[in-house]
């Protein structure tokens, strides 16, 4: 898990693997993270690993966006 405090930009980003998604309660983690910041407008943003293959998904996304399918 990687956590980046961007409080000056009004957010905290959290990057989680699939395994970490199973281990941690995101609501509890959100409450804990927000309790540590002074900026009450701060939000927690989660980036979660998906279930597909990164290379294949990226290739398909690029092909679709570039219109060369």
Here the tokens at position 36 are 């540590």
The 10s digit of each residue's pLDDT in 21-42 is: 999 999 999 999 999 999 889 9
Whether 29 contacts 61, CB under 8 Å: no
Which pair of tokens denotes residue 45?
């943003």
Q: How confident is the model at residue 48 (pLDDT cuts 50, 70, 90)?
A: very high
The reported pTM is 0.73
Burial class (CB in 10 A: 0-12, 13-18, 19+), 67: exposed
Average pLDDT, the chain: 91
Q: From CA 26, how far away is CA 13, in angstroms rounded?
A: 12
């Amino acid at each position: 898990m990687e956590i980046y405090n961007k409080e000056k930009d009004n957010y905290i980003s959290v990057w989680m693997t699939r395994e970490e998604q199973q281990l941690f309660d995101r609501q509890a983690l959100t409450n804990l993270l927000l309790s540590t910041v002074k900026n009450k407008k701060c939000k927690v943003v989660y980036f979660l690993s998906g279930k597909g293959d990164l290379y294949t998904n990226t290739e398909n996304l690029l092909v679709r966006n570039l219109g060369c399918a």
